[in-house]
Amino acid sequence: MTIIINMKESLNLRKIRIAARFIKEGKLVAFPTETVYGLGGDALNENSVKKIFLTKGRPADNPLIVHIASFEQLYELASTIPKEAKILAKRFWPGPLTFVLPKRDEVPSITTGGLDTVAVRMPANEIALSLIKLSKKPIAAPSANISGKPSPTSAEHVVDDFYGKIECIIDGGETEIGVESTVLDLTSKPPTLLRPGGLPLEEIERVIGKIKIHPAVKGRIVDVARAPGMKYRHYAPSAQVIVIEGKKDRVHEKIVELIDKYHCEGLKVGVMATGGFYDADAFIDLGRNSEEVARNLFKALRELDKKGVDIILAEGIEEKGLGLAVMNRLKKAAGYRTILLR
């Protein structure tokens, strides 16, 4: 049975205490963060973490992010804390930024996918922070979706994937940011961006200067040593996604042409764009700027899937600000099937 706790209106500590007890008992609780919903369990309890992997169907070598509620908690997880971590945490925590740091022995190796580093962040969501504080545990939480599916930005998405399979879902309404946290490896010099996310690269660089960008961020990867999660198919709906990017008017023309082509083949076509209108079987306007697009992206992928389209044509956006994270997710959802028009 899954208990659904409604907390859309206001924080209710009495109810969070119920969920916190589940965490202490080694059970799983899905909860909102500012980025996406997480599937949480006690990060230091091997059995809880095992359940997370099994429930998601997640490959064992794809490490989890551990969530904390105070900077001091970082000392329980990481063996070395460089000055960049202190500076960045001061500026951006709680918030959508995850650090990869050398792990302490107390962190089970199952949590870190067998790596000797651990990923940690402090989420900017009162429900999440209270759950961590009341359970008195660091909480391991990957996005609360079945492995390979788009991440959940509402409790309904979590219900779709996990109802009946986990102990508890806390419904805190729709998440604000809509894409997962930015993952920054602080064990390299300079630090390396492993996954673009809710905190734009430009903002990090404004504080600590130039950082390296892992080649997987913008394209398909070959070297999987550092971010094992990158090698798996992600965010993918059942439909084939095709990303069309480049000059706005040429992109528009191309999408119109492709809708026609696929219709002639008897296929059902969905379009996701930023403004404009397309006469397809389903059309979703993702918004006017990269923040809006980020907020709507995963929901749109799930909605188009529910409509049963065969093909999703997605307009690309500029890889600036949250646009870098949006394009990274879109390209992965498309299995790197992109058309670039200059």
Binding residues (CB under 6 A) for ligand TXA: these are 33, 35-36, 38, 62-65, 96, 98, 100, 112, 115, 117-119, 123, 141-143, 180-181, 183, 194-195, 227-229
Q: Which phi and psi angles does 223 have, rounded to 5°?
A: -85, 115
CB of 338 to Mg ion, least distance (A): 21
Q: Indicate the residue among 63 and 237 with the shorter CB distance to ligand TXA.
A: 63
Q: Indicate the residue among 101 and 271 with the shorter CB distance to ligand TXA.
A: 101
Choose from ligand TXA, Mg ion, none: what does 240 bind? Cβ within 5-8 Å by kind.
Answer: none
Distance from C-alpha of 265 to C-alpha of 168, rounded to nearest angstrom: 44
Specify the stretch interacting with Mg ion by CB under 5 A; choose among 140-148, 166-174, 271-279, 297-305.
140-148
Contact 237, 157 (CB under 8 A): no
Q: Which phi and psi angles does 58 have, rounded to 5°?
A: -90, 135
By CB under 5 A, what part of segment 82-121 binds Mg ion? none
Distance from C-alpha of 26 to C-alpha of 315, rounded to nearest angstrom: 43
Choose from ligand TXA, Mg ion, none: what does 111 bind? Cβ within 5-8 Å by kind.
Answer: none
Q: Indicate the residue among 35 and 143 with the shorter CB distance to Mg ion.
A: 143
Q: Does 35 bind Mg ion (CB under 5 A)?
A: no
CB of 229 to Mg ion, least distance (A): 8
Contact 245, 251 (CB under 8 A): yes
Eight-state DSSP code of residue 151:
P
Q: Indicate the residue among 196 and 287 with the shorter CB distance to ligand TXA.
A: 196
Q: Which residues contact 10 (CB under 8 A, 6 or more apart)?
A: none
Q: Among residues 205, 206, 225, 200, which one has the least CA distance to residue 215?
A: 225
CB of 99 to Mg ion, least distance (A): 17
Q: Indicate the residue among 34 and 315 with the shorter CB distance to ligand TXA.
A: 34
CB of 35 to ligand TXA, least distance (A): 3
Distance from C-alpha of 250 to C-alpha of 246, rounded to nearest angstrom: 7
Q: Indicate the residue among 43 and 286 with the shorter CB distance to ligand TXA.
A: 43
Candidates 73, 98, 143, 296; binder of Mg ion (CB under 5 A) is: 143
CB of 134 to ligand TXA, least distance (A): 18
Contact 141, 49 (CB under 8 A): no
Which tokens sit at 303?
A: 């909605």
CB of 98 to Mg ion, least distance (A): 12
Eight-state DSSP code of residue 104:
P
How far is CA 160 from each of CA 151, 164, 184, 282, 303, rounded to the nearest angstrom? 12, 10, 31, 21, 12
Q: Which residues bind Mg ion (CB under 5 A)?
A: 143
